[in-house]
Homo-oligomer: A and B are copies of this chain.
Amino acid sequence: MNEDDFLEALFKRLPSPPPDLVIPPGDDCAGLRVGRGRLLLVAIDQLVGGRHYVLEGPGAAKPEEAGRKLLARNLSDIAAMGGRPLYCLTATASSPRRDARWLRRFFDGLIALAGEFGVLMVGGDLAVGIADDVASLAVLGEVGEKQVVRRSGARPGDLLFATGCFGRSVRTGHHLSFKPRCREGEWLARNGYARAMIDVSDGLLIDAHRLCRSSGVGLRLETERIPRRTPDTTLREALTDGEDYELLFAVAGKKEGRLREMWPFADVPLTEVGVFVACETPFVSDADGLSLPVEGYDHFSSFLGGIEGTTEGD
A residues lining the B interface (CB < 8 Å): 1, 3, 6-7, 10-11, 13-15, 17-18, 21, 24-25, 29-30, 32, 34-36, 38, 40, 42-46, 48, 51, 87, 89-91, 93, 99-101, 103-104, 107, 111, 114-115, 120-132, 134, 136, 138, 140, 299-300, 302-304, 307, 310-311, 314
Chain B residues within 8 Å of A124, by CB: 7, 10-11, 25, 44
Chain B residues within 8 Å of A15, by CB: 115, 120
The reply to whether B136 and A44 contact each other, CB–CB distance below 8 Å, is yes
The reply to whether B132 and A18 contact each other, CB–CB distance below 8 Å, is no
Chain B residues within 8 Å of A131, by CB: 130-132
Nearest B residue to A45 by beta-carbon distance?
Answer: B125
The reply to whether A128 and B299 contact each other, CB–CB distance below 8 Å, is yes
Q: Which 8 A-B pairs have the closest CB atoms?
A: A131-B131, A138-B138, A35-B35, A136-B136, A30-B122, A44-B89, A91-B136, A128-B303
Chain B residues within 8 Å of A43, by CB: 89, 123
- Work out how many copies of this chain go into the complex: 2
The reply to whether B300 and A126 contact each other, CB–CB distance below 8 Å, is yes
Chain B residues within 8 Å of A6, by CB: 100, 103, 126
Interface-centre pick from A24, A36, A115, A132 (highest chain B CB count, 10 A): A132
Give Cα distance in the complex from A310 to B104, angstroms: 10
The reply to whether A29 and B127 contact each other, CB–CB distance below 8 Å, is no
The reply to whether B10 and A89 contact each other, CB–CB distance below 8 Å, is no
Chain B residues within 8 Å of A130, by CB: 48, 51, 131-132, 134
Nearest B residue to A51 by beta-carbon distance?
Answer: B127
Give Cα distance in the complex from A1 to B128, angstroms: 14
Chain B residues within 8 Å of A93, by CB: 46, 48, 132, 134
The reply to whether B126 and A3 contact each other, CB–CB distance below 8 Å, is yes
Nearest B residue to A20 by beta-carbon distance?
Answer: B86
Chain B residues within 8 Å of A36, by CB: 35
The reply to whether B46 and A127 contact each other, CB–CB distance below 8 Å, is yes
Give Cα distance in the complex from A307 to B1, angstroms: 46
Of the A-B pairs whose beta carbons lie under 8 Å apart in the complex, a sample of 22, sorted by A's number, is A1-B100, A7-B124, A7-B126, A10-B107, A10-B111, A18-B120, A21-B122, A25-B123, A30-B87, A32-B87, A35-B38, A42-B122, A44-B123, A46-B91, A46-B125, A48-B93, A93-B132, A100-B303, A100-B304, A101-B307, A104-B311, A128-B303
The reply to whether B120 and A311 contact each other, CB–CB distance below 8 Å, is no
Give Cα distance in the complex from A11 to B124, angstroms: 9
Nearest B residue to A89 by beta-carbon distance?
Answer: B44
Give Cα distance in the complex from A24 to B123, angstroms: 9
Give Cα distance in the complex from A38 to B89, angstroms: 20
The reply to whether B136 and A100 contact each other, CB–CB distance below 8 Å, is no
Chain B residues within 8 Å of A132, by CB: 93, 130-132, 134
